[in-house]
Amino acid sequence: MIALVGGVGRYLYAAGPANGARELLSMLVIVPAFGAALYVFDLYSLSAINGLGTIVRTVLAAVAGACFCDVVFHFLGWPNGVYQSLELCVFVVPFGAYAWRKAYFHGSRKLRRPERMLVIGSVGDATVLSRAMGRLHGHYELVGMLCTQAGAPEAFHTKADTERFDRMNGRAANWESAVAVAELPAVVALTRGDEAETVPNLGPASSETLLEVVEVCEADLVVVRSDTMTLELAETLTRLRFSGTRVYSLLDFCMYASEELPLEIVSEFWLCVADGFDLLQARFFRRVKRLTDIFLASLGLVIALPFMLLAAIAIRLESAGPVIFRQQRVGWMGQPFELWKFRSMEVGAERGGPQWAAQNDPRVTRVGKVLRKTHFDELPQMINILSGEMSYVGPRPERPEFVGMLNESINFYHLRHYVLPGITGWAQVNYPYGASMDDARRKLQYDLYYVCKASPLLDLRTLLRTARVVLFRQGSR
Mean pLDDT throughout 139-158? 63
User: Which residues does 207 contact at the CB level (< 8 Å), separation at least 6?
Assistant: 232, 233, 235, 236
Phi and psi for 180 in degrees, rounded to 5?
Answer: -65, -35
The reported pLDDT for the residue numbered 70 is 83
Mean pLDDT throughout 70-85? 71
**pLDDT above 70 (res 184):** no
**pLDDT above 70 (res 443):** yes
**CB 279 within 8 Å of CB 272:** no
The Cα 338–Cα 233 span in angstroms is 53
CA proximity to 254, closest of 118, 120, 132, 131: 132
The torsion region of residue 345 among left (phi > 0), alpha (psi -120 to 50) and beta comes to beta
**pLDDT above 90 (res 12):** no
Angle made by CA atoms 300, 317, 342, in degrees to the nearest 5: 35
pLDDT per position as a tens digit, 372-430: 888 889 999 999 999 999 999 999 999 998 898 899 999 999 999 999 999 999 999 99
Angle made by CA atoms 65, 66, 70, in degrees to the nearest 5: 120
CA proximity to 468, closest of 344, 329, 334, 375: 375
**Host H or E run for residue 239:** helix 231-242
To the nearest 10 degrees (0 to 180), the angle between helices 52-76 and 81-111 is: 150
Instruction: Name the band, by pLDDT with cuts 50, 70 and 90, for residue 162.
Output: very low
User: Which residues does 249 contact at the CB level (< 8 Å), separation at least 6?
Assistant: 223, 224, 225, 226
**pLDDT above 70 (res 181):** no
Q: In sequence order, what DSSP letters do the residues of 253-298 get, joined into one string?
A: HHHHHHSS--GGG--HHHHHH-S--GGGT-HHHHHHHHHHHHHHHH
**pLDDT above 60 (res 192):** no
Instruction: Name the band, by pLDDT with cuts 50, 70 and 90, for residue 446.
Output: very high
The reported pLDDT for the residue numbered 358 is 63
Distances (CA, A) of 414 to 90, 331, 398: 48, 11, 11
The Cα 261–Cα 73 span in angstroms is 42
User: Which residue has better confidence, 305 or 227?
Assistant: 305
The Cα 130–Cα 119 span in angstroms is 10
Instruction: Name the band, by pLDDT with cuts 50, 70 and 90, for residue 155.
Output: very low
The reported pLDDT for the residue numbered 398 is 92
The Cα 29–Cα 78 span in angstroms is 13
The reported pLDDT for the residue numbered 312 is 92
Mean pLDDT throughout 293-298? 95
The reported pLDDT for the residue numbered 477 is 47
**pLDDT above 60 (res 464):** yes
Q: Name the CATH superfamily, with its identifier, for domain 115-258.
A: AF0625-like (3.40.50.10700)
Mean pLDDT throughout 208-236? 89
The reported pLDDT for the residue numbered 347 is 77
Mean pLDDT throughout 25-37? 86
Lowest mean pLDDT among 161-165, 207-211, 295-299: 161-165
Extents of the domains making up the chain:
2-111, 115-258, 279-471
CA proximity to 117, closest of 268, 256, 294: 256
Distances (CA, A) of 255 to 7, 268, 346, 382, 455: 39, 17, 41, 31, 15
User: Which residue has better confidence, 471 or 311?
Assistant: 311
The Cα 215–Cα 203 span in angstroms is 16
The Cα 376–Cα 86 span in angstroms is 31
Mean pLDDT value across the chain:
81
The Cα 48–Cα 257 span in angstroms is 17
The Cα 234–Cα 363 span in angstroms is 58
The reported pLDDT for the residue numbered 157 is 35
Buried b (16+ CB within 10 A) or exposed e, 78-105: beebbbbbbebbbebbbebbbeebeeee
Buried b (16+ CB within 10 A) or exposed e, 184-210: bbbebebeeeeeeeebbbbbebeeebb
Instruction: Name the band, by pLDDT with cuts 50, 70 and 90, for residue 195.
Output: very low
Lowest mean pLDDT among 145-149, 176-180, 262-266, 401-405: 176-180
The Cα 307–Cα 294 span in angstroms is 20
**pLDDT above 70 (res 212):** yes
Instruction: Name the band, by pLDDT with cuts 50, 70 and 90, for residue 475.
Output: low
Phi and psi for 383 in degrees, rounded to 5?
Answer: -70, -40
> Would you give the DSSP letter of residue 361?
-
The reported pLDDT for the residue numbered 84 is 67
Mean pLDDT throughout 247-259? 91
3-state SS class at 24: helix
**pLDDT above 80 (res 362):** no
Distance linking the first and last C-alpha atoms of the chain:
39
The reported pLDDT for the residue numbered 354 is 67
The Cα 127–Cα 137 span in angstroms is 16
**pLDDT above 60 (res 122):** yes
